[in-house]
Amino acid sequence: MASAAIAQEAMLEVRNPRTGQTDHRLRVSSRAEVAEKAAGLRANHPAWEALGIAGRCGVMARWLGAVKARAAEIGEADAADTGGCHTSYIQGFITVANIGGWLKDAPAAFEALTWEGMSTSMPTVRIESQVVAFPLVGVISPWNAPLMLALLDAVPALFAGSAVLLKPSEVTPRVIEALFETVREVPELAAVFDYVTGPGEVGQAVIAEVDTICFTGSVPTGRKVAVACAERLIPCNLELGGKDPCIVTETADLDRAATSVLRGAVYATGQVCYSVERVYVHESVHDAFVEKLVAQANAVRLNADNPRAGHIGPFTFAPQADIVMRHIADAKAKGAKVLTGGEIEAIGGGLYMRPTVLTGVTHDMAIMRDETFGPCIPVMAYKDTEEAIRLANDTQFGLTASVIAGTAEEAEAIGRRINAGGIFLQDTFLTFAKLGTFGSDSFGCSGYGAPRIGPESLRRFLRRKSLLTQTGPVADIQDDHHLGKPGE
């Protein structure tokens, strides 16, 4: 990942997704600034780790109080960044839940990593475990759900005992600025948690300074991050999106299925990594399902007039609208039909799209192969369960998948055969139900590394050591010739 020099005082214009105007300016961090901040965080790390999990929990509890006091303000900043869907306004409270959840889970997660006892192969050797945090974690976060996805990595890393250097997306910097107002209220935390700003080159500079990377973004950029980390021989954890399928069987409650699919596909304008992006419906109920889906889709409101009232907001990142339109145009050119939506509506400077239902789609179309990241619902008929599973697995991605059937048992039998890390049965969009329980892996190109949700996700930021003590006599090389042959 070769990079050009970053100008010391370079500035970026930041677009408002609701107005289309540039109403915010972002200073680009220089490579020297990245290195300086990284060095400062690294120097402060030993004292942070030395606090132990109990001491760090005390500091994080104070941060929790600061976030609570500014939760509404943080939500407003997130809404300004994203264009405002109703979850933007509660991002401050989601952050409270994130920190509070780790206050509860982190001590037990540490306890699960400890071991002490006598060796089974050498009975005179006592073994004791030790966990050591990576000194400096780099987090490179995306423009969709900018606060939540940054803190899914940064918060557990801090609990683990690491210092964290965050590089948020240059598309959505406002909420990170608001967040760090709360960080600065807790000096011990501010000493080990900082951020830098700018385009991709700043992310490259972060990779050059840290001990491990957490990256959320596209597959092409994720490959570059992985190569850069490999060149430095540092680990990385990558969350790279998906093309998530939903199978609707002939026995499914079609009203329930249409409701679930619509929400799973267009929530947050479809700008969610685990949005439903492909729907496979048994041919016997295909037309009835589509009829119900279109009727529900036509009832969905844009939030152009009131960001707190509508269901679908503008595209956060304007170029994403072009990608979505290219997918729709490719599908139409190859025979697909658009039954509702399908056009970009420019309203007050924002770029909007209503829920877009397509039929007559095939796997020859980009809209069934590549991540669309927009409010599109391509629906394809299948003949039998074997074909449905084959189609669902015909992808380079494997983040999540959904199955809606007549019974939970029928859905589970199908779900167990789909290659994805999270399988949602009788609903869609259930990822966060795993919080506080356990995480799951990504399949294919959807990601790399350990789970980022659940108590074991703390393990990403810790290295385990073993301390081995000989309690008996030491071995004498002079006695080696007395050793028996294998099996004796």
Residue 125 pairs in a beta bridge with: 470
Q: What pLDDT is recorded for position 4? A: 44
What pTM, to 2 d.p., does this model score?
A: 0.94
Tell me 214's DSSP state.
E
The torsion angle over the Cα atoms of residues 8, 164, 271 and 2, rounded to 10 degrees, is: 50
DSSP 416-437: TTS--SEEEESSS--GGGGTTT
Q: What pLDDT is recorded for position 250? A: 98
Q: pLDDT class for 310, splitting at 50, 70, 90?
A: confident
Q: Where in the chain is the domain with CATH 3.40.309.10?
A: 244-434
Q: Which amino acid is at 478?
A: Q
pLDDT in tens, 134-187: 999 999 999 999 999 999 999 999 999 999 999 999 999 999 999 999 999 999
Percent of the chain scored above 70 by pLDDT? 96
Contact 429, 267 (CB under 8 A): yes
Q: Which amino acid is at 325?
A: M
Strands (E), 69-227: 116-118, 125-133, 136-140, 163-167, 193-195, 212-216
- Tell me which residue of 148, 161, 147, 167 sits closest to 208, measured CA to CA: 167
Q: Which amino acid is at 235?
A: P
Integer Cα distance of 486 and 476 in angstroms: 19
pLDDT in tens, 203-234: 999 999 999 999 999 999 999 999 999 999 99
pLDDT in tens, 111-139: 999 999 999 999 999 999 999 999 999 99
User: What CATH architecture is 11-240+442-468?
Assistant: 3-Layer(aba) Sandwich (3.40)
- Tell me which residue of 487, 470, 458, 485 sits closest to 161, measured CA to CA: 458
Q: What pLDDT is recorded for position 486? A: 52
Question: In the predicted model, is pLDDT for residue 8 greater than 70?
Answer: no
Q: pLDDT class for 485, splitting at 50, 70, 90?
A: low
Integer Cα distance of 80 and 15 in angstroms: 10
Q: Are strands 356-359 and 422-425 parallel, antiparallel or unpaired?
A: unpaired
Q: Is 471 exposed, middle or buried (0-12, 13-18, 19+ CB in 10 A)?
A: exposed
CATH of domain 244-434: 3.40.309.10
Question: In the predicted model, is pLDDT for residue 36 greater than 60?
Answer: yes
Q: Where in the chain is the domain with CATH 3.40.605.10?
A: 11-240+442-468
- Taking residue 238's Cβ as centre, other Cβ atoms within 10 Å add up to 24
The catalytic site residues sit at: 239, 273
Q: What pLDDT is recorded for position 6? A: 46
- Tell me which residue of 28, 244, 242, 273 sits closest to 142, measured CA to CA: 273
Q: How far is CA 435 from CA 89, 151, 333, 428, in A?
A: 21, 14, 42, 16
Please state, rounded to an integer, the average pLDDT across all residues of the chain.
94
Q: What pLDDT is recorded for position 438? A: 77
Rg of the chain in Å (alpha carbons)? 25
Higher-pLDDT residue of 296 and 488 is: 296
Q: What pLDDT is recorded for position 87? A: 87
Q: What pLDDT is recorded for position 482? A: 54
Q: What pLDDT is recorded for position 1? A: 45
Averaged pLDDT, 48-68: 98
Integer Cα distance of 432 and 185 in angstroms: 29
